[in-house]
Amino acid sequence: MGETLSRRSKAVRLAAAGAVLIALGHGTVAGDDDLFPLGPMVQYAFSIPPDGEIRSLFMAAETAAGTRVEIPIEPSHVGIRRAELEGQLTRYVGDPSLLQELAKAYSRLQPQAPRLTKLYVITKVISLKDRRPASTRDVVRVSWSVR
């Protein structure tokens, strides 16, 4: 058989397990997605009714060339993650000029891309009927003419 652990080894393992349990308890009670895996992943903590709606945030833009493009909401394109934009959406709706910073980040991070003239933050709403897509509509949440 294997060796038995010393009292010190048992105490260290017990303290480590206790620290993980305390961190997990704190993350569950007071944490948010930033603490994952020691905090909740709330985007998976719900279900959609069979005749409900699926809502998905995305960003679109008009370019100087007159085209409309979808802009990925990720740090490599606009400097923030989609979850950050979703979490602060009320700030952007209340002050659309905050989108100017996302436009600046886009031009800095994507220098080869066409210049943006207008940004839109849009919610795609998919209505379900018996758990199947029945209709889709886009709801512009906030827009900004890029300076």
Q: Does 33 share its domain with 65?
A: no
Residue 52 structural domain: 48-145
Q: Does 57 share its domain with 124?
A: yes
Identify whether the C-beta of residue 121 lies closer than 8 Å to the C-beta of residue 96: no
What whole-number distance in Å separates Cα of residue 53 and Cα of residue 136?
9
What whole-number distance in Å separates Cα of residue 145 and Cα of residue 107?
14
Residue 29: phi and psi, rounded to 5, are: -80, -45
Tell me the percentage of the chain whose pLDDT exceeds 90.
71
Q: In the chain, how many domains are there?
A: 2
Structural domain contains residue 2 = no
The lowest-confidence range among 7-11, 57-61, 134-138 is: 7-11
Specify the 3-state DSSP secondary structure of 114. Answer: coil
Confidence of residue 23 (pLDDT cuts 50, 70, 90): confident
Q: Does 36 share its domain with 57?
A: no
Q: Does 84 share its domain with 137?
A: yes
Tell me the percentage of the chain whose pLDDT exceeds 70.
88
Identify whether the C-beta of residue 105 lies closer than 8 Å to the C-beta of residue 98: no
Residue 115: both structure tokens together: 């210049």
Residue 93 has pLDDT above 90, yes or no: yes
Structural domain contains residue 1 = no
What whole-number distance in Å separates Cα of residue 33 and Cα of residue 117?
33
The lowest-confidence range among 2-11, 25-34, 43-52, 118-127 is: 25-34
Specify the 3-state DSSP secondary structure of 61. Answer: strand
What whole-number distance in Å separates Cα of residue 101 and Cα of residue 56?
22
What whole-number distance in Å separates Cα of residue 58 and Cα of residue 72?
7
pTM, rounded to two decimals: 0.68
Q: Does 16 share its domain with 39?
A: yes
